[in-house]
């Protein structure tokens, strides 16, 4: 029996499609909840005045981390899970974790105070990708096995295959709007704020040198 077709009997005696329930949890629970710590982290950066400490460098690292998570998510929403997509997801999660360490080191080296609350927010941002990936791999255990075999015997293992059951346009539009409002808008504002502050500092430094 395929993992995504597995069922069980609940306490009332009704049949529950475990795969369907897990999929709904990922789509309507875990993914939307991801935006909450993301916005909270932006608030912490603003409170600690990132533009006056780590500045543009750390803000660009934040953009890099969003891409490392965002690209695998976008592909998963559009294409079937197979060895190729699992490789992208696993690679994105690993690189995101390494970049997160670089991010914290950059903040500390710049004397930006990373408060305990922000560190706790980071724990959610780092653990959620692994939680989502673990659930997805349980749903598609057959594709995990195919990946471990190098995709042998599967002609579609190493190409992007459109989802057999595409997600509704309304759902995709909602996720897109949430990404714009909770990711692109706040972190774009952060990067712009850092760039403007850096320019003002350079201009003030040039003016100071000319006045000597």
Compute the average pLDDT of residues 144-171: 95
At residue 2 the predicted structure's pLDDT band, cuts being 50, 70 and 90, is very low
Number of other residues whose CB lies within 10 A of the CB of residue 75: 16
Compute the average pLDDT of residues 29-46: 96
Q: Is 156 helix (H, G, I), strand (E, B) or coil?
A: coil
Task: Determine the Cα–Cα distance for residues 165 and 72; give it in Å rounded to an integer.
Answer: 18
Contact 161, 79 (CB under 8 A): yes
Contact 8, 16 (CB under 8 A): yes
CA angle centred on 66, ends 99 and 143, rounded to 5°: 90
Contact 84, 158 (CB under 8 A): yes
| 83-109 and 116-139 helices, crossing angle to 10° | 170
Percent of the chain exceeding pLDDT 90 equals: 82
Q: Say what the pTM is.
A: 0.87
At residue 74 the predicted structure's pLDDT band, cuts being 50, 70 and 90, is very high
Task: Determine the Cα–Cα distance for residues 89 and 186; give it in Å rounded to an integer.
Answer: 25
Q: Is 135 helix (H, G, I), strand (E, B) or coil?
A: helix
| pLDDT 10s digits, 98-111 | 999 999 999 989 98
Residue 153 has pLDDT above 50, yes or no: yes
């Amino acid at each position: 029996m395929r993992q995504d077709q597995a069922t069980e009997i609940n306490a009332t005696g009704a049949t529950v499609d475990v795969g369907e329930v897990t999929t709904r949890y990922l789509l309507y629970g875990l993914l939307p909840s991801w935006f909450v710590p993301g916005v909270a982290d932006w608030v912490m950066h603003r409170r600690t005045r990132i533009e006056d400490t780590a500045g543009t460098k750390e803000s660009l690292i934040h953009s890099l981390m969003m891409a490392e998570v965002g690209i695998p998510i976008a592909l998963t929403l559009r294409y079937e899970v197979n060895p190729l997509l699992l490789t992208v997801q696993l690679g994105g999660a690993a690189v995101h974790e390494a970049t997160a360490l670089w991010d914290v080191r950059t903040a500390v080296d710049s004397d930006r105070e990373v408060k305990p609350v922000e560190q706790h927010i980071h724990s959610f941002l780092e653990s959620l990708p692994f939680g989502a990936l673990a659930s997805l791999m349980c749903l598609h255990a057959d594709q995990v096995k195919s990946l471990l075999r190098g995709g042998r015997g599967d002609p579609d293992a190493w190409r992007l295959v459109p989802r057999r059951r595409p997600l509704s346009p309304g759902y995709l539009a909602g996720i897109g709007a949430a990404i714009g409002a909770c990711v692109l808008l706040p972190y774009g504002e952060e990067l712009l704020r850092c760039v403007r502050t850096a320019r003002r500092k350079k201009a003030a430094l040039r003016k100071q040198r000319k006045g000597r």
